[in-house]
Structure 1
Amino acid sequence: MNAKLDSSVTTRPVTRQTFDDVIVPTYAPAAMVPVRASGLDLWDQNGKQYLDFTSGIAVASLGHCNPILVDALTKQANTLWHLGNGYTNEPVLRLALALTEATFADRAFFCNSGAEANEAALKLARKHAHTKFGEHKSRIVSCLSSFHGRTLFTVSVGGQAKYTEGFEPLPPAINHIEYNNIEAARAAITDDVCAVIVEPVQGEGGVVPGNKEFLQELRNLCDKTGAVLIFDEVQCGMGRTGHLFAYQGYGVTPDVLTSAKALGNGYPIGAMLTTEELAKTLNVGSHGTTYGGNPLAATVALTVLDIINQPAFLARVKEASVKLVAMLEGLCKDYPEILSFVRGSGLLQGVVVADAWKGKSKDIQKAAEAQGLMMLIAGTDVVRFAPALIVTDAQIDEAGRKLRAALDGLKAAA
């Protein structure tokens, strides 16, 4: 029956309760419902203003409703939306050229998310190994506390059991080692390994930067065994560390790099970047996605890349990082009973909670939100900060004041 859509459907009142009524309960969102945002400022249904230091989990790195991106998207929306992969389009070709020129890569594959980018990377590694060495070379090595996506394959590769419980049987031939443990890497990466996947900076696992020596040894071991080295830069890439991609700051070059999140500043897009040799493994029909590299997403991503990949912009990220770390370290000094120490890279920083607050990072997040500061957690023992890369010194100071008020309230209630 083709009934005309009732106009009230698009304008009917909805609240946070509506989520509990009609959405599959895979999330537990905050009580407030955001309705409008600009830059790092956000307003909820009640008109309350917040300072957003989450950027949508390191996504809106150029701020909400960035006017340059809005203009680019609007122009493309009035030009060409979608074609399907039987055709290519100009925006995606320009984006592929720009990404390969800016990185080690020769080829790009576009999809819709970080999980899809990692899925493509892992499938590429398996197929390459089977083609070149035989099916015995199929084992994948990842790190404990890692996060690589929510498909059954990528969630199995991620090293957090809480995300795989109940979904068994899981894909086989996947092993996990301790992050930054060189000896564990040497023991695990042998001739039957087809891929090693690692986040240069672990995000969901607690905001833990990789040691250069560890990442370099992974490179050495992959060279020795013929395994493919995959860097998952979905969260730490696109300027977040003060380099376009984190690998460039480490001086360790992977065979495959995955990107998403900030690549589209909130418009869904993912990318897998790789070398000419590896790209040959995936021939016509061996992999694909309906929406990957559509003109809308590619246009936004190309504009994002053009803004971020400038020396002055990246230098400012490093400058803002110093300011943010100093603010957070000051809070650790003044509230040692709640906050312990700071770790991270660039504008992706985590604060490990003190022993008395183990398991209570969510409580700190909620207290900050009550003061008008939006921030993240990374597990139960770390609060995480990922402000837009355009954050000002004044906004960092404001975040510090709001967080200080939140900590004062927690101390008083303890």
Structure 2
Amino acid sequence: MPVTATSSAVEAVYRIESARIIAGTARIVRDVGIAEEIAQDALVAALEQWPEDGVPDRPGAWLMATAKHRAIDLVRRRETYARKLAEAGRALEDVPPPEPADLDGIDDDLLRLIFTSCHPVLSTEARVALTLRLLGGLGTDEIARAFLVRESTVAQRIVRAKRTLGRTGVPFEVPSGPERPARLGSVLDVIYLIFNEGYAATAGDDLLRPALCEDALRLARLLAGLMDREPEVHGLAALLELQASRTRARTGADGTPLLLAEQNRARWDHLLIRRGFAALERAHALGGAPGPYTLQAAIAACHARAARWSDTDWPVIAALYGRLVAVAPSPVVELNRAVAVSMAQGPEAGLALTDALLDDPALAGYHLLPSVRGDLLERLGRGEEARAAFVRASELTRNARERELLLARAEGVSR
């Protein structure tokens, strides 16, 4: 195989396997920063050896074994002779061979890595950057491009996150007892935030960043496989599958955003819808009161079941939002409930709920508040007020595509 082809093969395998390699190595060295460096050393070794020796039959296992041997060597060098032998012996006993039968042990390591990279000791921005780096396999340039920040900013966040984890002594483990559900919430929030940024970009020229949605979906599916008994994990997976199913229909041929009522539902991905329904059914089957992600998935499922916009069961959606407000109250959820209520009970009822949010400081710069008001005012025939609301929303958004849509709506309001 030519050198360039071999290099491409190495990089492709590493992209797929890097999270597992880092996770397996971190169990030995107990430091995600050092584990990542060792995993990259294994990548360099592959780039040096594979062009001469050929690509192994199981390249992922080769990289894993190389990384783990280097990790064990590091542990040995750190300790005194007697302690070193004891630690190396224990490490070797703990390190499973890179065989297919060993997947359960590797998955346990992945679960530890997910909980470590999403630890609440880190800021939200740091959790997102570190998760995309360690579990998504993204480079700092890719993360920076996705979130429209400088590459140096992303690099600093990742470096500081690793230092913080080391300095604070965050254990490389899945928490148990009451700490586990609390920490799981942080993990789910990070994955959801990554998806949301891909689904509706905060800023920039494009409404969608599909690569981020795909990374979040992959992480959600991975987590659902690792934590099969946690209903909210399946709730999040269901929500992301159902939301992602609409991706192809959310923009026109020229990239113009299309509202839900305007989308061609034949373009929705029915495979993802079926996957979403299955995950939601699993979440319900596990029992207990539905959490916020399961409730949001149930709302998305109502939209997915409607063959046409006019078939949407708005009373059920409004009721689900009412339950969501009780479980996870926030001004944004209240605003979404106002939209559902307006569809179920009329625009006046929705406008009353929306206007109650006007003085909420959390929504002061949120462009969807005046956008929703503009829609409701237009439906009530209050054209001048609607136009002003759409213009105000266009001034608040940082996304160029959304700005174009809002200005078009302002222009299209009947005088």
**TM-score under structure 1 length normalisation:** 0.20
Q: Which has the higher helix share?
A: 2
Report which of the two has the higher share of strand: 1
Tell which has more relative contact order, 1 or 2 (C-alpha 8 A, sep 6+). Answer: 1
Larger Rg: 2
TM-score by length of 2: 0.20
